Structure formats: structure tokens, C-alpha cells
Structure 1
Amino acid sequence: MEAAGTLERGLALLRVLADDPGRPMAATDLVRATGLARSAVDRVLATLTHLGYLRLDGREVRLAPRLMELGEAYLAGGGLRDALSPPAARLAEELDESVSLAVPDGEGVRFIAQFTRRRTMSVAFRVGDLLPAGRCAAGLALLDPAAPWAVDDQLVEPGLVAVAVPVRDPDGRAVGAVSVVSHTSRHTADGLRAYALPRLRATVTEMETALARPPLTAHRDEGPGGGQNGGPDGGPAGGVDRSRVAKQELGAGYLQSLARGLAVMVALGRPGGATLADASRATGQPRATVRRAVQALERLGYVAARGTRFVLLPKVLELGYAHLSGLPFRAVVQPHLNDLVARVHESASVAVLSGEDIVYLARRPTRRIMSVDITVGTRFPAYATSMGRVLLADLPEERLDAIAVKPLSSHTIATTAELKTVVRQVAADGYALVDQELEEGVRSLAVPIRDGSGRVVAAVNVATHASRATPADLVRDILPELRETAARMAADLAYVHGPAWNGDLREVVRLGR
């Protein structure tokens, strides 16, 4: 297959999966939906799975969180989300109503940020969703950018009302719209306009001022085939084309041109776009290869030329971003738990800290006559569990003073002072091993799951009966597997929750339900 054709086939398959992500699909379903030969579908699936964009669950194919890096490349490179989100978040807080940011995309508008108020009747738009321009306030504001504002009086859905104002760039072009969205149980359309419009207009003025500032220089040079930013000569010397190694390892089943094309897409996600030379340096690919990929992406509507630079377009978000950005916490970590249990043949769990307890958010038990019987939602004292100690180790030590230590077995630590000593050691080691302190016969080993800032937001453990593994066995055999699993979970959570997700316990528990 030629390079451009292979990239187009891969993106076609991703679109099919993204159109109905809740429907189980196997390779045979994708053959029917795309019209591709089975051999072509198998090679595309193998390549996308290797890149981490898809997961294979038995015969079923599912979108994986890393696919969001394509949408993130557009959102970061476009600059609107990062520039406009802070004032939009403040507006939602001040009005106590949901606020949306949207941009034009063909005959519709696509959402690039949401700041939703949690209510019984709440807005269900997701980042990446596309709505017809004539059926929502943001679209109406962009269809007639000369109008100062637009109102949606239950056009999209009965009960939903919204008011929107266009946002203009320094050249006066309407590049997006900000909407305040509510429900008729709270406001009529006219009432919402009267309530929200003055503050909405002031916020848009603040946003337009932000857009007038010079953009910060940023580089996004990592991708499925990318590497570190390279030399100044416009050649491929600075980047590393990782697809070469994968091709050598996987052979004919790996479509190098597909991996290279997706790497180019990610490389274009920088403020102001990227030249062919920029993308060549970022990906380590020859400029001719980059040019063919960019031309294919232009034909498909994912890229546009801006002089000598090429920028990603909002259509990139159709590649599963809306579905993946809304995944609950448990749905993100559960596949990794399943993989871990398949490798170590012991039960595994994920938990977060709630007061002085841990709460189980996800679990994969093993099937044995004698097993550790715990369900999602179970609470245990943090001080006597491996996951609890990992989570306590990320807290200021003075927080441990309030914890009342009580014996739960003959092995449980006896005092708060002893707990502090143990927790300090856990912080130094990067893991916690608890030997029959919660219950006689139960041993467990846990490591932290961190967010993008390095803060511990959850923990993952493996638990077993003392008769099956000594403490030394767990450290030798299980700890490396646990650490690898935690790293994969953290990577997926970074994509799904992005910079806005701060690991707040209430939000994590809500997501884990």
C-alpha cells in the first residue's frame, strides 16, 4: 500500500469505531463497515494496537485513551482552549451555570471545552461533540458573526436554553463562541439572556484581549513515531522515527506508513502550526514522507495550510475524542487491572483515600477456592492496608497525627508513631507491603498512581494469601508488574482527564461509580 492510502485506511477505520464506540465491533464488522479486505483490516488493527490507540478485548476492538493525543494535538496547537478556558471557568462559577466553548467545523460547531454545573438536569455535551450550526446558540452566533449575541430556545432539546456570544481574533474573525447553557426549570430563554449576557460579554472581551497577546512558543514533538526536537537544518536528524524499530520487530503486520502519518498529525499540533521542516525534525522522517502525509490529511479535512505552515482542524476531534474524554475513572483503569491479573494470577484492585479510609474503585479477583473477597465500594482503614499506606505517604506527616491506630490482627502496627515510621519508609521505597495486618493470612503489595503533576491520586495493589507467596516473593515477582501497570494507568488518566483533572477525591469517587 502507498503511504497516503495506508493513512487514509487507518483513519477510516478509526472513524468507524468512533461513530459508535459503545457497539462491540470485531474485525469482521470493520471489514463490512469500511469495505477493506480482511488482511488490510488486520494490519491496520495490529498497527493501531501497537501504537496504543486501540485495545483488543478478546475479539472486540475498542478505542484506547492514547488515541486522544490526536485531539489533544489539535486543542493545544489551536490555542483557543488554553487561552479561553480560564475566563470561561470563572464565568461558570460566577453565574452558577454551565459554559461551553465551541468552534466552527464545516456546517456545524464542535465543542472544545466544557465547564458543567452538576445538577439533576445537567448539560451532557462533551468536548469533541459536533452540533448543527443552526440548532444551537454557539452555531447561530457563528453563522451571523455580525450579531452581538444569539439565543437557543430549546432548539437542540426540549428544556435546554442557551445564550452565546462570538469570540473574535485580532483580525476581527469570529473564531469561536462562548455559550451559557441552562434549563427551563431555572430560566426562560429571555430570562437567561437578561441574567447572563452582561457578564458573558465582559468575559468575551477578556478572551479577545487574551487572543491579542503574542502566543507562547511550544513544541509538541512526541508522537507515535516522533522524538525530541532536533537540529536546525530542516532535516530529520533531530527526531527519532520509532516506526523503523517497530517495523523491524513486527514485520509485515506493522504498517509503518500509517504510524508515520499519525506521528505527523501529532507533530502539527503546535501553536501556529508547523512547517514541513518542523514536522520532519519532530518525527525524524524525511521531508518527502512528511509531505505525502500532510497532503493526505489535507484531503481528509484534518489539516489546512496557513502560508508555509500547516495547522490541525477541529475535525480531528471526531476520532473518538468525545467518547474517550467522558470515560469514567474505573473504565480507564479496569483494562489494566485485567491485564495485570492475567500476568500475575492474583487479585488486583485500585483505591483512593477517603478521610482515614481507602475506598475500592476497581477490582479484578482471581478464581480460587481460597481468595480475598472484596467488592467495589468496600472501605478499610488506610493505616492497615498497602494501598492506604501508599496514599498516606503523599500527605503531610502532621495529617497522620489524627489517625487512631487500632489492632485488626496480631500483626497490626500498634501506634501512630509506628505508622509514621512505616509511611516514611513507604515514601522512600515507592511501594508498600502489608503482611497480615488487615487480616490474618492476607498479604498485599501496592504502588501509587500519579497524575501529570506527580501527585498521588490513587493506588493499585495485588493481594494474595500468605500461603502462596512470601513478602520477598511479592517484591521480586509482583513489584515490577505493579509498577508497569501503574505507569500505564497514569498515562491513560493523563489523556482522559487532561490538565483540568486535579485528582480531587470527590471527583475521582464520582467517576469511579
Structure 2
Amino acid sequence: MAEQPDYYVKSAEKTLAVLLAFDAGHQSLTVTQVAEAISVSRAAARRFLLTLVDLGYLEADGNAYRQTPRVLDIGASYLSGLTLPQVARPHLQSLAVELSETTALCVLDEQDILYVERISNPRLHSMNVSIGNRLPAWATSMGRVLVAELPEAAREEFLANAQLRNYTSKTVASIGQLRAELDLVRAQGWSLVAQELDEGLRGLAVPVYRGAQLLGALNVSVQPGRIGSTSITEEMLPLMRRTAKNIADDFGGRTAARN
């Protein structure tokens, strides 16, 4: 290995190596895993991790650590001219045409989801939702995907503050039922909500990850009588996951960076 120049700061290299150790396949890492990934002692790895927690780039999740949205600040100057909605729009348009359904991209804001991009299908039953509108996260497929992906403590805090109400006869009835639904969504990686917020609407959602960072949730709205629930997941999920990956890659995801 070539000798490093006098100005070279080894700790800077290791700090970046810690952040890069997190990816789509390693969204949560322990001290031991980080130590092995960057070839340092557990004590050194712990110091790097705790420093990054103090700086806001990582958060503790039990004995493991996860990245926070602040990691996006590192590339903010490069990406400042390109917003997530701008990147997502052509992909949402293509998916809407392919499925003949309304597509949307949402983010989580406390107890609500916030629509940041939406491509409407004129023939679909309308809830009169547009970009910038909010809906209760617990009652939507997008919200359940986003909440399910939160660290356990943040997820429990969300549940403690959730104010359930009966929008329809199919609306989730209790916090216990909602918690069980979130566990299922986290395990399977997608959410299907059928007429819980509106009698004329079903929604299927998947997460959009940029590396290890959750950017938002991709949603397709489906009329109740148009397609069966089994067909929704079989026919739409592969296309939605492909679209989510394309959005993340175009926004500077890890896959795009490697190509």
C-alpha cells in the first residue's frame, strides 16, 4: 500500500467509511459489524458511531445504529438543483400510464403524510388530493410503510400520539390492531389499505430507499372493483418496486453511484 501524504487525515477516512458501511442491505449495524467493516477495534468503532450520533448523522436503535436524514446534507450542494419531486415525476408518470392508475410520492411529517408529487388518473374515484395535502399516516398505505420503517422507539412514539377515528366501517379499530399491521408491513416491505380512509379507494405502497436512507413512500391508488387484492400485489408490486428503485437511483442512490 502506498504511503499516505503528510496531510492525510486517517480519522476522516474512517468517518466516511462508517457512513458508507450503511447501505440497502445493511440499514442497521452494531458496533461489532462496523468495526469489522472498517477494520478498527470495537472501542474505536464505538467512538466513531457515538460522534456521528452527536453530530446528527446516525441514531441509536437499541444496540444498533441507523442513518438519519441529515446524511443527505453531505451531498446537498451537488443535488441542490434537483429536487426529489422533480426526479420522481417522470417515473410516476410512466407507472401511471403502465397501470392506468393514480400514482403518488409521499413523505412522513409527524402524524401525517405529505404529498410531494402526484400523477392523477382522471377516471379514478377522487379524494380531491393534491400536492401539499396531508392525510393521517396511520390510515394510509403510504403512512404505514413510512411508520413501519421507523426505529422502534420512534414507531412507538408515533403510536402513542396516534388519534384513531372511524372513517369507514373498515378503518383499523385499535392501536393494538394498528401495531400488528405495522409489524406485518415492516416484515413484507409493502402495505395494502382497502377502503379504511374512503369507501371508494384502495392504496398500495412501497418504500423508496436511497442507499440506507428512506426518502418516502410510492403509492398507487386503485378502484375497489377494478382488480382483486391478490392481483394487486402480484401485478403491481414488481412494477412499483422497480419504479421506487429508479427514483432512488436517479436521485443519487447507491446503485446509480456504483454504475
TM bracket, shorter-chain basis? 0.5 to 0.7
In the alignment, which residue of structure 2 is the partner of 1:393? 148
In the alignment, which residue of structure 2 is the partner of 1:428? 187
Structure 1 residues 213 and 479 mapped into 2: Cα distance closer, same or farther (>3 Å)? closer
Structure 1 residues 342 and 213 mapped into 2: Cα distance closer, same or farther (>3 Å)? same
Counterpart AA for 2:167: L
Q: Does 1:491 align with 2:249?
A: yes
Structure 1 residues 388 and 370 mapped into 2: Cα distance closer, same or farther (>3 Å)? closer
In the alignment, which residue of structure 2 is the partner of 1:367? 122
1:447 to 206, 216, 231: 206
Could you report, residue by residue, the CA deviation over 1:38-82 in whole angstroms, capped at 9, with x for unpaired residues? xxxxxxxxxxxxxxxxxxxxxxxxxxxxxxxxxxxxxxxxxxxxx
In the alignment, which residue of structure 2 is the partner of 1:353? 108
Counterpart AA for 1:359: L
2:165 to 386, 403, 406: 406
Structure 1 residues 326 and 422 mapped into 2: Cα distance closer, same or farther (>3 Å)? same
Query: Given that residues 124 and 223 in structure 2 are in contact (C-alpha distance below 8 angstroms), is that contact kept between their aligned partners in structure 1?
Result: no
**Superposed counterparts of 1:191-230, under 5 Å:** 209=7, 211=8
Q: Secondary structure at the match of 1:494?
A: coil
Structure 1 residues 473 and 213 mapped into 2: Cα distance closer, same or farther (>3 Å)? closer
Counterpart AA for 2:211: G
1:413: Cα distance to partner?
0.4
Query: Given that residues 349 and 362 in structure 1 are in contact (C-alpha distance below 8 angstroms), is that contact kept between their aligned partners in structure 2?
Result: yes
2:224 to 445, 459, 466: 466
Unaligned 5+ runs, structure 1: 1-168, 171-208, 219-321, 500-513
Counterpart AA for 2:87: V
Query: Given that residues 451 and 457 in structure 1 are in contact (C-alpha distance below 8 angstroms), is that contact kept between their aligned partners in structure 2?
Result: yes
Q: Does 1:376 align with 2:119?
A: no
Counterpart AA for 1:456: L
Q: Does 1:334 align with 2:89?
A: yes
Structure showing greater radius of gyration is: 1
Question: 1:398 & 1:323 partners in 2: Cα distance?
Answer: 35
1:329: Cα distance to partner?
1.6
- TM-score if structure 1 supplies the norm length? 0.34
In the alignment, which residue of structure 2 is the partner of 1:475? 233
1:490: Cα distance to partner?
1.5
Q: Percent identity?
A: 35
Unaligned 5+ runs, structure 2: 17-76
Question: 2:253 & 2:124 partners in 1: Cα distance?
Answer: 38
Question: 2:181 & 2:10 partners in 1: Cα distance?
Answer: 51
Higher relative contact order (CA 8 A, sep 6+): 2
Q: What's the C-alpha RMSD, in Å, of the aligned pairs?
A: 2.8
Query: Given that residues 361 and 376 in structure 1 are in contact (C-alpha distance below 8 angstroms), is that contact kept between their aligned partners in structure 2?
Result: yes
Counterpart AA for 2:102: S
In the alignment, which residue of structure 2 is the partner of 1:111? none
1:401: Cα distance to partner?
2.3
Query: Given that residues 372 and 464 in structure 1 are in contact (C-alpha distance below 8 angstroms), is that contact kept between their aligned partners in structure 2?
Result: no
Query: Given that residues 210 and 253 in structure 2 are in contact (C-alpha distance below 8 angstroms), is that contact kept between their aligned partners in structure 1?
Result: no
Query: Given that residues 125 and 201 in structure 2 are in contact (C-alpha distance below 8 angstroms), is that contact kept between their aligned partners in structure 1?
Result: no
